[in-house]
Amino acid sequence: ARDVHEDMKRSPEKYLAGMPPDVRALHEGRYADYAELLERKGRAGPLPLNEHVGLCEAYWRLKRYDQLERCLPGLEGRHERLPVGGTIDGSRTAALFRADMYLDFGMYRKAIDHASAALASAPDDLEKLAPLYTLVLAHVFLKEHGKAHEYLKQMQGNPAGLAGIPIDEVGLARVH
């Protein structure tokens, strides 16, 4: 079996050249192009959930919050199995986007509400990391260091880890 990650390391340009334009734009961090391609595709019919999530993510990364707010209801109540395994829960994903948006707005209590909802519906350890991270930050910004530390300890004890990076460095780097 071919290891696509090895192909990407050897020749990133060749690896990216074989991708569809929308996927390539996403991997290259061209979120405006990615959003435009998915918007065009969405005009022809409903987007699959994974692409709808991608469109919402592009709006969030571009800080286009008005478009994000219009995008999120399309995620609610939808579930999709991924070809590589696992599933996407549109409602949990929408809660995470809302939590991060409210974090960006400095509306930390609302961020906590949405991140808590996402955490409560997380099916496994890996899916708990993102809402835990948001909860750590929101509580730190509220100067509720005890609560922030509780969530940070949950992240540190999470067997899913975070790409080999010590959780305390990731969770605290953005805070300092």
Tens of pLDDT, residue by residue, the chain (176 residues): 445 456 555 666 665 666 667 677 777 778 898 899 899 999 999 999 989 999 999 999 999 999 999 999 999 999 998 777 778 999 999 999 999 999 999 999 999 999 999 999 998 888 898 999 999 999 999 999 999 999 988 888 777 765 555 555 554 555 44
The residue among 52, 58, 22, 19 whose CA lies nearest residue 37 is: 22
Q: What is the pTM of this model?
A: 0.79
Positive or negative, the CA dihedral 49, 52, 54, 59 is: negative
Q: Rounded to 5 degrees, what are φ and ψ at 103?
A: -60, -45
Q: How high is the pLDDT of residue 176?
A: 42
